[in-house]
Amino acid sequence: MDKPDTIRQKAERWRCDVRDPSVQTVPERHPHFLNDAGDEVQPVYTPADLDADDFGHASHLGFPGEYPYTRGIDPAMYRREVPIVSAYAGFGDPSDSNKRYRELIQFGVQGLSVALDLPTQLGYDPDDIMACGEVGRMGVAISSLRDLEILFDGIPLDSLSSVGSTANAIGPIILAMYIALGEKQGMDPKRYTVALQNDVLKEYVARGTQIFPPKPALRFTVDALEWCVHNAPHWIPITVCSNHLDVAGAGSTAGTAFTLANTRCYLDDALRRGLHIDQVAPLMRLFLNEREDFFLAVANYRVTRRIWAKLMREHYGARDPASLKIRIMGYAHGPRETAQEPLNNIVRITMGALTCFFGGLQDMRCASYDEAINLPSDEAVKVAIRTQQILAHEFGITSTVDPLGGGYYVETLANRMERRIQEIMNRVDDLGGALGAMENGYVKNTISEGASRRQKAFERKERVSVGMNIFPVKTESRPQTFRIDANVEQRQIARLQQVKSERNPHRVSAALAELASNAKDGVNVMPALIEAVKAYATMGEMCTVLKSAYGEYEPDQSF
């Protein structure tokens, strides 16, 4: 067997030969290949690359289901259970989306995450002037408990692995609605699972659906976590998300670092309330993302488990294995879905889904190939579901655990990514944590610089998109797009008026007064929210009360 030094010398000679422009097999390609983390991709990787990182099996890999969980959180992983088939869906009014949900369940969907329209996400009722023209457009309109009842009509909450929403600023309100709906369906919270995004911190720098200033918004988010610790410890009240950070320009490495920093902010707030790390950490989940590089994505998912396990054990002193084993979900996209030649997106999404399988995720959703054009069509949604099912049950990719584990390239990427994530997290700590890094402008500047760098690389064709900046087609026919009923807004306003006419106004007033009092006094608002939801208070009414207590976010503030 060759000695490591001999392997290193051979690799360096081989790399120099391949870099020689005279032997470039594809001369139009850029001579130095860079991944989205900014690293040059070497022509070949060897054990010498891992030796340089002091790579050790026990410290870096371990076995599946064992610390540091790089190879997965379960010993058998997909031999025992393949990733949950989830769907993110919603449009129009609740009755429209109910029909789509029933179809999805027939196709084999196990978990549903409700896509909310922008007025709902921002806390406006459909009759608010701020909601005009947007009701039901980019998601389903949910104004009160009545809407959620219609949305899940004929769909028992315990018939799905989880139900939830990507709501962030209004996450605790949606949680209260699911609590009330479960009661309406005659279910104890132990019988079903709610999985929310409820990650408000990334909204201020990457997405923009924040309502309240950051500090009270943080408190509001952690109220939901605290309630679940005591009442539904198997729920997932916070899914901390790197997806929007990455897409906005941070890239997956910085995006993951900022996500972990945000997670620490939520955890620290919970611990200040007297909770223990082993009470709160098992209720957390991460939503990671990498769209630019297949192998970088796999490395990102794997190394994040390792970083999490070390963080929980070494920084927080967690002892419960459930605290050390972070659950990860992913949304399988390609590098960028295109409106041009949308069927090409099926290939991109399939490759994105493969990274989720090879990365060892627990829950995944596949995008629909026509999302770049409009809301997904029935056909595109079915193809997305079938994509995940085919990968899970055909081709044998789930037969063994972590099939790319130990690969020279993947492990070298993972080791470099771990160092960079830790460096960025240390920088965030130096700035006062997630809130301090936001206030300082560090997070936004990182995102802006990354977005600019990506765009310039695209223009230079160092980042390519088939059909866009290489092999473009001048003319093409587009598939018929999905259309929203133009009368959705009026129907939703009429339903809102009916709810207000039928409910008990004294019960609503009392519930909203209690909510206002608790919010002003710093008391956990979840019990008051649950009572307000049961009284059929509307999203707009509850958010108006909370704004009076918390204030309203102003973009020209220091954040």
What DSSP string describes 40-101? BPPS---HHHHHTTT--IIIII--TTSTT-TT-SSSSGGGT-PPEEEEEE--BSHHHHHHHH
Residue by residue, what is the 3-state secondary structure of 256-272? HHHHHHHHHHHHHHHHH
Q: How does strand 363-366 pair with strand 238-241?
A: unpaired
Contact (Cβ atoms closer than 8 angstroms) between residue 167 and residue 174: yes
In sequence order, the β-bridge partners of residue 116 are 140
Concatenated DSSP letters for 140-202? B---SHHHHHHHTTT--GGGSSEEEE--STTHHHHHHHHHHHHHHTT--GGGS-EEE----TT
Cα 343 to Cα 255: distance, rounded to the nearest angstrom: 29
CA-nearest of 57, 53, 174, 54 to 112 is 174
CA 526 to chain centre: 23
In a domain, 202, yes or no: yes
- Six-digit token string for 31: 């001579």
403 Ramachandran zone, left/alpha/beta (phi>0; psi -120 to 50): alpha
Whole-angstrom Cα distance, residue 254 to residue 267?
Answer: 20
Q: Is residue 282 assigned to a domain?
A: yes
Q: Quote the CA–CA distance of 88 and 21 in Å, as a whole number.
A: 47
In the numeric block, the tokens 């410890």 are attached to 233
Q: Alpha-carbon torsion 163, 167, 172, 177, what sign? A: negative
Neighbours of 471 (CB within 10 A): 10
| Cα torsion through 237, 91, 348, 385, rounded to 10 | 80
Cβ neighbours around 13 below 10 Å, total: 10
Residue 356: domain span: 57-67+78-459
Strand-by-strand arrangement of the 363-366 sheet: 194-196, 162-165, 111-114, 84-89, 363-366, 327-332, 284-288, 238-241
164-174 confidence digits (pLDDT tens): 999 999 999 99
pLDDT at 31: 47
Is 224 in contact with 265 (CB distance < 8 Å)? no
Give domain status of residue 507, yes or no.
Answer: no
What does the angle CA 252 – CA 258 – CA 262 come to, to the nearest 5 degrees?
140
DSSP string covering 416-458, please? Answer: HHHHHHHHHHHHHHHTTHHHHHHHHTHHHHHHHHHHHHHHHHH
pTM of the shown model: 0.93
SS3 state at 25: coil
pLDDT of residue 18: 53
Q: Determine contact, residues 88/113, Cβ cutoff 8 Å.
A: yes
> Count of domains in the chain?
1
CA 123-125-131 angle, 5° bins? 90
Is the residue at 522 inside a domain? no
Tell me the pLDDT of the chain (559 aa) as tens digits.
455 567 677 767 656 655 555 544 444 455 457 777 778 888 889 898 888 888 888 889 999 999 999 999 999 999 999 999 999 999 999 999 999 999 999 999 999 999 999 999 999 999 999 999 999 888 999 999 999 999 999 999 999 999 999 999 999 999 999 999 999 999 999 999 999 999 999 999 999 999 999 999 999 999 999 999 999 999 999 999 999 999 899 998 999 999 999 999 999 999 999 999 999 999 999 999 877 889 999 999 999 999 999 999 999 999 999 999 999 999 998 667 888 899 999 999 999 999 999 999 999 999 999 988 888 888 999 999 999 999 999 999 999 999 999 999 999 999 999 999 999 999 999 999 999 999 999 999 999 999 999 889 888 888 888 888 888 887 766 666 666 777 899 999 999 999 999 999 999 999 999 999 999 999 999 999 999 999 999 999 999 999 999 999 987 554 4
In order, the DSSP letters of 192-261 are S-EEE----TTIIIII----S-HHHHHHHHHHHHHHHHHH-TTSB-EEEE-HHHIIIIIHHHHHHHHHHH
Q: What is the tens place of the pLDDT at every residue in 180-234?
A: 999 999 999 999 999 999 999 999 999 999 999 999 999 999 999 999 999 999 9
Domain contains 526: no
* pLDDT score for 448: 94
Tokens of 358: 């090879």
Specify the pLDDT at position 481: 61
Identify the pLDDT of residue 480.
Answer: 63
State the CATH number of the domain containing residue 120. Answer: 3.20.20.240
